[in-house]
Amino acid sequence: MHEPRVAEKDTPYWWEASPLKPLPQQPLPKKLDVLIVGAGYAGLSAGLVLAREGRSVAAFDAMDPGEGASTRNGGITSASIRPDYATISRRFGEDKALAIEAEGKVAREFLYDFIRTERLECDFQLVGQFKCAFGYEQYEAMARSADALSKKLRIESHAVPYAEQRNYIGTDFYRGGTVRMDIGGLHPAKFHAELLRVALASGVVVHARTPVISIERDGSGFRVVTSAGSVQARQVLVCTNGYTDGAVPFLRRRLVPVRSRIIATEELAPDVMARLMPKRMMMTENRQVGFYYRPSPDGKRILLGGRDSSRVGNPVAPKLLLRKGLVNLFPELENVRLSHSWFGNVAMNRDMLPRIFEKDGVAYATGFCGSGVVWAPWIGMHAAHKLMGNDEAARTAFDFRPPASIPLYRGDPWFMPAIIWGYRMQDRFALWRDRR
């Protein structure tokens, strides 16, 4: 029995076409209108709005800009919200639940218009998404949800029964699914590079490899200590998400970094891609710890991702788990090589909702819970408008109280392997129940 193959490279597939580019060192400013912590999607989007309104603004990143989740994600424009409508209604009220559901539609449309009007070359394709069902009972519930989306929000959405499934995905693993056509895919590293380009051109100063060490009140503003020295800032916006560190302990106690891993196949023959992914859609599963997958933008590879329960190093087991999942879906790929396997941190919080909030005068735009391609630019830009007092432009359903802190948690997610194991047990039971 031969040992299963693992990937040739442990760096993101996206870096092949859009490698990280170190920025030249910038002189440290003495004073700023707004200092932003983090230069990913959220930080750059906020900086772009602020700079175009005439504010002096600089973003400080502990790594190269985009080196975190912004260039490591799957590039799917889902704007998905993990808790369902009923759960949000119970926790925050029905008005909040309705507003959150409706805002996803607006946020996606905004992103697509932003890409178009700013002429961002990021391989965006509005191809739709197929959500896979594991049993006929689950399929019926999903079909009702698709019908509700179509009627209430006028989103092009419909159910696909098992008999028609292979028109959308070349596997018999599922029991049908649903389609919604307002979701697409982009190249996340190209998107970040283009966002960085327009932000710099608009006057945002980006300090790479310059971590923020502390943020302290100083009169009516803040004294921000960085690895390069101190800066006086009138306002501070934190956009660190899954890479939050000890510089912002209040946020660190509320966000849990969870690894998400993706594998990429070698290039596949055109007839194989046409058979396995005939409509080139984005794919997701209706389970607690499911896979998400998609064709590469050039249509030559399959990229498949899922949660990684490891906490340190780069172990082999999570790669093999994803490979096993890929082969379960598409048995004909059993001998296909993996070209890339990589991971990045997503940020989860106790109620699993993105948000804008303020604490002790510091503004936060964070908590994207694995759906940052849409939510990070949207939340970042709304936070910028809030800082400027533009009440109408700042209005969003995601501006509310901070997420609750997590007991006994100070930055080390020691409990995540057990939680992910528990979710997987729930998925196995649900699969057994639906397929009895």
76-112 residue pLDDT tens = 999 988 777 777 888 888 888 888 888 999 999 999 9
The predicted pLDDT at position 3 comes to 47
* pLDDT digit string, tens, across residues 137-177: 889 989 988 888 888 788 899 999 999 999 999 999 999 99
In this predicted structure, what is the pLDDT of residue 1?
A: 41
Percent of all residues in the chain with a pLDDT value above 90, rounded to a whole number: 76
Give the pLDDT mean for 387-416.
89
pLDDT band, very low/low/confident/very high, at 431 (cuts 50, 70, 90): low
Instruction: Write down the pTM of the prediction.
Output: 0.94
Per-residue pLDDT at 367: 93
Q: Give the rounded percent of residues in the chain with a pLDDT score beyond 70.
A: 94
Q: Is the pLDDT of residue 288 over 70?
A: no
Average pLDDT over residues 278-301: 92
> pLDDT grade, residue 432 (50/70/90)?
low
Q: What is the DSSP letter of 3?
A: P
- Averaged pLDDT for residues 210-219: 97
Summary mean pLDDT of the chain = 92
Burial class (CB in 10 A: 0-12, 13-18, 19+), 381: buried
**pLDDT value at position 269?**
98
Distances (CA, A) of 330 to 273, 336, 435: 11, 11, 20
As a whole number, mean pLDDT of residues 232-246 equals 95
For the chain, give the number of residues.
436
> Could you give the CA distance from residue 12 to residue 339 in angstroms, rounded to a whole number?
10
- Cβ proximity of 112 and 124 under 8 Å: yes
pLDDT at 383: 98
31-37 and 229-238: which strand pairing? parallel
pLDDT at 130 over 70: yes
User: 5 — phi, psi (to 5°)?
Assistant: -75, 145
The answer to which of 18-32, 81-95, 187-201 has the lowest mean pLDDT is 81-95
Residue with the bigger pLDDT between 252 and 420: it is: 252
| Arithmetic mean of pLDDT, 42-64 | 98
Smallest Cα–Cα separation from 67: which of 111, 34, 29, 23?
A: 23
Mean pLDDT along residues 322-332: 96
Average pLDDT over residues 28-37: 97
- pLDDT on residue 433: 65
- H/E stretch holding 57 reads strand 57-60
pLDDT of 312 reads 86
**pLDDT for residue 252 is more than 60:** yes
Q: Judge whether residue 2 has pLDDT over 60.
A: no
Q: Is the predicted pLDDT of residue 423 greater than 80, yes or no?
A: no
pLDDT value for 76: 97
Asked if pLDDT for residue 356 goes beyond 70, the answer is: yes
**pLDDT reported for residue 411:** 80
Confidence of residue 241 (pLDDT cuts 50, 70, 90): very high
